[in-house]
Amino acid sequence: MNLLYFGIVLAGLISLGSALECYVCNDQPNNQDKCVKTTIQCKKNHDTCRTYIHWRQPPYWTPRSERIFSIDKSCTTRQECENEQRVLGLRCFRDWYRDWMCTECCQGDRCNYYVTLGASSVQLSIGLLASALLFIQMVLNVRR
């Protein structure tokens, strides 16, 4: 009888150990604090970690119409995540000057730690664009 109880407990522990673990957060302005410190064990049927990134104008007025990030992380199924990627595919262009939204899917414990193209990357893109324009201006001035 003790062997039966031991087997049941062992089977329960094994099934608990096989659950996927993902980072979770909701409507966060960056990939810090809650988005990298909070994890959850996913439901049995959830086999994918999802990250949703939204770059948009804020719901309130700003003097320069600055855009903000919103990051959501959660557990989902692979099919649901891929469907969401397909639907958002036309809006996932990651331009700094217009609103966009993207979904990233990954499989593996805590695989959704990083967010592709975070705020620092957008600033880097603006800096790169400014550097390229400055270089072109210098080349044109040298030719004169």
Q: What is the pLDDT of residue 110?
A: 97
Average pLDDT over residues 72-77: 98
Specify the higher pLDDT residue, 79 or 129. Answer: 79
Please say whether the beta carbons of 36 and 18 come within 8 A. Answer: no
pLDDT of 82 over the 50 cut: yes
Residue 33 CA to residue 71 CA, distance in Å, equals 12
**135 pLDDT band (50/70/90 cuts)?**
confident
Residue 58 CA to residue 67 CA, distance in Å, equals 6
Please say whether the beta carbons of 35 and 22 come within 8 A. Answer: no
What's the predicted TM-score (pTM) here? Answer: 0.67
Task: Report whether CATH 2.10.60.10 matches the domain 20-117.
Answer: yes
Q: What is the pLDDT of residue 120?
A: 39
Q: What is the pLDDT of residue 94?
A: 86
Amino acid residing at 83: N
Q: Are strands 68-76 and 48-56 parallel, antiparallel or unpaired?
A: antiparallel
pLDDT tens digit sequence for 5-57 = 555 544 554 545 568 999 999 999 999 999 999 999 999 999 999 999 999 98
Q: What is the pLDDT of residue 28?
A: 96
Amino acid residing at 38: T
pLDDT tens digit sequence for 84-130 = 999 998 889 888 888 999 999 999 999 999 997 544 344 445 666 67
Q: What is the pLDDT of residue 143?
A: 75
DSSP letter for each residue of the chain? -HHHHHHHHHHHHHHHHTS-EEE-EEEESSSSTHHHH-EEEPPTT--EEEEEEEEE--SS--TT---EEEEEEEEE-HHHHHHHHHHHGGG----TTS-EEEEEEE-STTTTSS-SS-HHHHHHHHHHHHHHHHHHHHHHHHH-
